[in-house]
């Protein structure tokens, strides 16, 4: 960021503007000295690895438990 003006007006540097137009994103800068906004963003960033690396329950195991055990009434 090159400069911060009154309100939400910001002056971004040239390379950032090129990247923004390439990826078609619209940045929303938080106001200076508002630490609570930074915490909200960082909490969302932390959710991605947590959800990506947490092992999920296997459907194969569930299927084997519920449908592959022998039943005595058909024997």
Tell me the β-bridge partners of 4. 10
Which sequence spans correspond to the domains of the chain?
3-68
First to last CA, the chain: 75
Contact in structure between 14 and 21 (CB atoms under 8 Å): no
Task: Check pLDDT > 90 for residue 30.
Answer: no
Per-residue pLDDT, 15: 92
pLDDT band for position 18 (cuts 50, 70, 90): very high
C-alpha to C-alpha distance for 75 and 65, rounded to whole angstroms: 19
Per mean pLDDT, which range of 1-10, 38-47, 66-75 is the poorest? 66-75
* pLDDT top residue among 14 and 7: 14
Instruction: Check residue 39 and give its pLDDT.
Output: 67
Q: CA-to-CA distance for 75 and 68, rounded, in angstroms?
A: 14
Mean pLDDT along residues 28-35: 69
């Amino acid at each position: 960021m090159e400069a911060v003006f009154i309100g939400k007006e910001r002056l971004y540097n040239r390379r950032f503007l090129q990247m923004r137009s390439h990826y078609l994103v619209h940045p929303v800068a938080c106001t200076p000295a508002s630490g609570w906004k930074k915490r909200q963003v960082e909490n969302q960033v932390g959710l991605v690895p947590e959800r990506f690396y947490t092992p999920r329950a296997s459907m194969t195991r569930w299927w084997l438990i519920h449908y592959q055990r022998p039943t005595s009434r058909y024997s």
